[in-house]
């Protein structure tokens, strides 16, 4: 059996309000699963819950996460005792499940150079080869290592974050709208990089609100609305418009209006 991440029955609450309702999700090694939906539909919250990083009260109240990598299996407790959760998630964050943030510029420590940050991430994975091989793999020049985050463009910052993910060697990657705010010339190579990572066996959950971008890149698409997964389909089916849920229909129609007919 290949590497697989299974999330079952996830429920997240803020006080009495339920923000994520019983979400099930399966992510296999080597696939890109797009999680699409309007802003506030619970996509990012679902991803953060999978990293044990929900900081609202009471947060995750129900759900199980099971990750199988080779012959090892991880089942961090998603709710209950804080210390037990902290210990369990610290063991899988980065090493097993990585994270590509939405705003890469803000996801880098503003007071440390790129080289130190990427090098440190590599050391966390037990690699002593420094930052340069990983910057090179992410398509960046060695000179970037000496720069501070505020000296990078949006696309370069995103590549630095990808370099960190490569250096960390995560088996699964949660990419939270990693191309938001980037122009198409920068966005396309980054999306190709994600595809390349998946081809190397990394399972990627790609959070986006851009249905058009999923075509040709994602293997599967999950549509979220009001904290629920309302549709599980493929980019081709979305493109044909044969969707069953009203929320997915609304998303497809809106995208078509922008694109002029087809979801592309």
For other proteins, the binding residues (CB under 8 A) are 48, 51, 53, 55, 86, 90, 92-95, 98-99, 101-103, 106-112, 121, 124, 161, 164, 168, 174
Distance CA 263, CA 241 (A): 8
Pair 154, 104: CB distance under 8 Å = yes
Of 83 and 257, nearer to other proteins (C-beta) is 83
Q: Which is nearer to other proteins, 43 or 228 (CB)?
A: 43
**Cα–Cα dist 161/37, whole Å:** 24
Least separation in angstroms between residue 48's CB and other proteins is 8
- Tokens 């961090």 correspond to 76
Question: With respect to other proteins, which residue has the nearer C-beta, 87 or 262?
Answer: 87
Contact between residue 157 and residue 110 where contact means Cβ atoms under 8 Å apart: no
Least distance (Å) between residue 103 CB and other proteins = 6
If the CB atoms of residues 109 and 253 are measured against other proteins, the closer one turns out to be 109
Nearer to other proteins, 35 or 161 (CB): 161
Q: Closest approach of Cβ 174 to other proteins, in Å?
A: 8
Query: Rounded to the nearest whole angstrom, what is the least distance from the CB of residue 19 to other proteins in the complex?
Result: 18
240 φ/ψ angles, rounded to the nearest 5 degrees: -75, -15
- Taking the complex as a whole, the smallest distance from the CB of residue 87 to other proteins amounts, in Å, to 10
If phi > 0 it is left, if psi is from -120 to 50 it is alpha, else beta; for residue 80 that is left
| Backbone φ/ψ region at 177: left (φ over 0), alpha (ψ -120 to 50), beta | left
């Amino acid at each position: 059996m290949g590497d697989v991440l299974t999330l079952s029955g996830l429920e997240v609450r803020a006080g009495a309000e339920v923000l994520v309702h019983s979400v099930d999700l399966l992510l296999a090694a080597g696939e890109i699963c797009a999680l699409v939906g309007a802003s506030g539909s619970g996509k990012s919250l679902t991803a953060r819950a999978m990293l044990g990083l929900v900081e609202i009260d009471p947060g995750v109240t129900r759900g199980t996460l099971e990750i199988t990598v080779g012959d090892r299996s991880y089942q961090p407790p998603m709710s209950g005792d804080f210390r037990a959760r902290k210990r369990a998630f610290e063991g899988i964050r980065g090493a097993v499940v990585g994270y590509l943030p939405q705003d890469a510029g803000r996801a880098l420590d503003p007071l440390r150079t790129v080289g130190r940050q990427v090098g440190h991430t590599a050391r966390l994975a037990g690699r002593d080869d420094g930052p340069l091989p990983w910057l090179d793999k992410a398509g960046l020049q060695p000179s970037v290592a000496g720069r501070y985050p505020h000296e990078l463009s949006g696309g370069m910052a995103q590549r630095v974050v990808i370099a960190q993910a490569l250096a960390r060697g995560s088996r699964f990657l949660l990419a939270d709208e990693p191309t938001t705010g980037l122009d198409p010339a920068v966005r396309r190579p980054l999306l190709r990089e994600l595809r390349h990572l998946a081809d190397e066996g990394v399972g990627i959950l790609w959070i986006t609100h851009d249905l058009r971008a999923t075509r040709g890149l994602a293997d599967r698409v999950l549509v979220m609305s009001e904290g629920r997964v309302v549709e599980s389909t493929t980019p081709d089916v979305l493109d044909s418009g044969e969707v069953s849920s009203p929320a997915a229909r609304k998303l497809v129609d809106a995208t078509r209006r922008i694109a002029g007919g087809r979801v592309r």
